[in-house]
Amino acid sequence: MHGVPVFRGTRVPIQTLFDYIEGGDTLESFLEGFPTVSRELAIEALEEAKQLLLARA
């Protein structure tokens, strides 16, 4: 994927999750649209982003 971070074991860019949430969609909606991404991986990505933001505060 040309260096774009993707969910482990998939070709789904992590940015897609953030785009869904930014657009007002739910995590459930994202998971339905991308069944190759597990709930666990999505939560892991959100938690990591949260930790990075909190560390910068």
pLDDT band at 18 (very low <50, low <70, confident <90, very high): very high
pLDDT of residue 22: 97
Pairs from 34-43 (Cβ < 8 Å, separation ≥ 24): 34/10, 36/7, 36/9, 36/10, 36/11, 36/12, 37/7, 37/10, 37/12, 41/7, 41/8, 42/7, 42/17
Mean pLDDT confidence for 23-52: 97
Average pLDDT of the chain is 95
Q: Is the pLDDT of residue 57 over 90?
A: no
Name the residue among 35, 33, 45 with its Cα closest to residue 7: 45
Q: What angle do CA 12, 41, 17 make, to 5 degrees?
A: 50
3-state secondary structure of 4: coil
